[in-house]
């Protein structure tokens, strides 16, 4: 990323203070890392490519530790941390899962540049993936703007976009119920095009579904992929209160 004004916009949007621990995942030549190092208490710059590591070390950045490791193999900090990164496009979804799948982690917020298609998918109101709706129970994920490939050297084959992620002050689902919600989301979104009547069958009784639809203010034609965060929260709350535990969908692990 060679556009300095864009780099400053990214870092400014993160509101970094001198008390913050910040991760730059895929630091590259250090365009973002260098700006972060002047604002944060500590920066962890993760980079695996030796030619970039050499350039990062030449910058002699203060408050910065260079972690020479595969991004997906690092251990996330236990303390609160922020992510400000232009992440590698090839592993966009695995990085997002690493940050968001476990809502009890120290991850607080982030400003991330990624491939535009992925940014649109993560922030769409049409949700086909259980993990995306699960993330939205604990984090606000917002599409900020598209970024032309011309801002990069060499330019990638696709355009990019900037998103923000912020931990919700009040989660829609309690973090302690994380695995229970994952089970529900995985069950309901097996076929995202299904109506709520068909998608919830097997968990809720027909009278419960009828009552739930009135509470959700939806009709038969609505697919479960179009349910809002708040509607998912209401479905979960209703299940926990009124459905016997033996009918709750189970999930052994999520990925």
Q: Please name the helix (run of DSSP H) or strand (run of DSSP E) that holds residue 107, with its range, or none.
A: strand 107-115
Kindly state the tokens that stand for 223. Answer: 């697919």
Per-residue CA distances from 136 to 145, 164, 183 (Å): 19, 13, 15
26 annotated as a binding-site residue: yes
Short-list 72, 95, 69, CA closest to 83: 95
Question: 3-state class of 8 per DSSP?
Answer: helix
202 annotated as a binding-site residue: no
1 annotated as a binding-site residue: yes
CB 9, CB 17: distance < 8 Å: no
239 annotated as a binding-site residue: no
Burial 120-155 (b: 16+ CB within 10 A, else e): ebbbeeebebbbbbbbbbbbebeebeebeeebbeee
255 annotated as a binding-site residue: no
CA 197 to chain CA mean position, Å = 29
Which residues are registered as beta bridge partners of 44? 23, 65
The residues, ordered by sequence, that sit 6+ positions from 51 with a Cβ below 8 Å of its Cβ are none
Binding residues: 1, 26, 47, 70, 86
Tell me the binding residues for S-adenosyl-L-methionine.
1, 26, 47, 70, 86
């Amino acid at each position: 990323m060679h556009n300095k004004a864009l780099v400053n916009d990214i870092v400014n949007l993160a509101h970094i203070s001198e008390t913050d621990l910040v991760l730059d995942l895929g630091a590259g030549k250090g365009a973002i890392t260098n700006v972060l190092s002047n604002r944060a208490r500590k920066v962890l710059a993760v980079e695996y490519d030796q030619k970039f590591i050499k350039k990062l070390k030449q910058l002699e950045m203060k408050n910065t530790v260079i972690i020479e490791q595969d991004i997906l193999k690092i251990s996330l900090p236990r303390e609160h941390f922020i992510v400000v990164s232009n992440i590698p496009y090839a592993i966009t979804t695995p990085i997002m899962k690493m940050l968001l799948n476990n809502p009890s982690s120290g991850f607080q917020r982030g400003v991330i540049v990624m491939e535009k298609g992925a940014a649109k998918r993560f922030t769409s109101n049409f949700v086909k993936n259980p993990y995306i709706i699960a993330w939205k129970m604990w984090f606000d994920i917002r599409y900020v703007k598209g970024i032309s490939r011309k801002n990069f050297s060499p330019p990638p084959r696709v355009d990019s976009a900037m998103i923000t992620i912020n931990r919700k002050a009040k989660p829609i689902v309690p973090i302690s119920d994380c695995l229970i919600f994952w089970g529900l989301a995985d069950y309901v979104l097996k076929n995202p095009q299904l109506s709520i009547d068909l998608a919830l069958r097997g968990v809720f009784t027909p009278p419960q579904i009828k009552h739930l639809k009135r509470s959700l203010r939806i009709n038969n034609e609505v697919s479960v992929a179009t349910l809002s965060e708040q509607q998912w929260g209401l479905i979960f709350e209703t299940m926990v209160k009124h459905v016997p535990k033996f009918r709750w969908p189970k999930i052994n692990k999520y990925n």
